Structure 1
Amino acid sequence: MKVILLAACVLWICVGSAFGIKCYVGGSLNYQLTDCSSSVTQCAKITTSGVAVRSCNVPTVTGAAATSNACTEVNLGLKIETCVCSTDACNGAATSYVSRMLAVILTALTARAVM
Structure 2
Amino acid sequence: MSLELINFVYDSIANSVHENGLYDGIKALLGVSFGQFLSYVKNDDKDKFQERFLELLESNEELKKELMALKVTTGDNVHGDKITVNGEKNIGKIDSIVTLHIS
- TM-score of the superposition, structure 1-length normalised? 0.23
- TM-score of the superposition, structure 2-length normalised? 0.25
Bigger share in strand: 1
Bigger share in helix: 2
Q: Which has the larger radius of gyration?
A: 1
More contact order relative to length (CA 8 Å, sep ≥ 6): 2
